[in-house]
Amino acid sequence: MEYFYIFVIILIAVILIWVSIPKRRGSLPDESERAKLDARRFAKLLVAEIRLYNPHEVELGKQNNDIYERLTNEIERAKKIYESRVGKDDGELSEYFYEELVNTLAEGDPKKLGSDYSKAH
């Protein structure tokens, strides 16, 4: 009888997981949507790497509104890598890197990047 209860609990868990998984609507994303998703993911990866390897500098930069000044080399290196993969003047795609810097490093506040960032870009 004990195995029956375990089976029922597992069955309920599987059903709950299955119901909570969003179903895909329509077909797979077209090529331009896939490019956007890839660009966003790549920007997120590069900026997360900056945060991972420089946590102290990121925190000080947020406190003093000078993230770009403290991490200029790292940000510019990541931006060059991003642009080499996505393209430099690709409109919307080129903005994803900046958006990720603001969201991940500056907690959504572009001022925390500092005035040096706006002068350089």
* Of residues 70, 73, 69, 67, the one with CA closest to residue 100: 67
- Give domain status of residue 19, yes or no: no
Mean of pLDDT values over 109-117: 89
The DSSP annotation for 45-100 comes to HHHHHHHHH-HHHHHHHHHHT-HHHHTHHHHHHHHHHHHHHH-SS-THHHHHHHHH
> Has residue 38 been placed in a domain?
yes
Residue 11 lies in a domain: no
Residue 42, domain member (yes or no): yes
* Overall number of domains in the chain: 1
Q: Is there a domain that residue 3 lies in?
A: no
Q: Is residue 51 part of a domain?
A: yes
What span, in angstroms and rounded, lies between the C-alpha atoms of 49 and 40? 14
* 17 domain-assigned: no
- pLDDT tens string 28-42: 567 888 888 899 999
What pLDDT is recorded for position 42?
A: 93
Distance CA 51, CA 104 (A): 8
State the angle between helix axes of 31-53 and 55-64 in degrees (0 to 180), rounded to the nearest 10: 90
Residue 92 located in a structural domain: yes
The model scores a pTM over 0.75:
no
Mean pLDDT, all residues of the chain:
84
Q: Kindly tell me the burial class for residue 114, based on how many C-beta atoms sit within 10 Å of its own C-beta (0-12, 13-18, 19 or more).
A: buried
38: containing domain: 31-120
Quick: pLDDT tens for 50-91. 999 999 999 999 999 999 999 999 999 999 999 998 887 667
Q: What is the pLDDT of residues 17-26, one digit of tens each?
A: 766 666 555 5
Helix axes 31-53, 72-86, angle to 10 degrees: 160
Q: Which residue has the tokens 């770009």?
A: 68
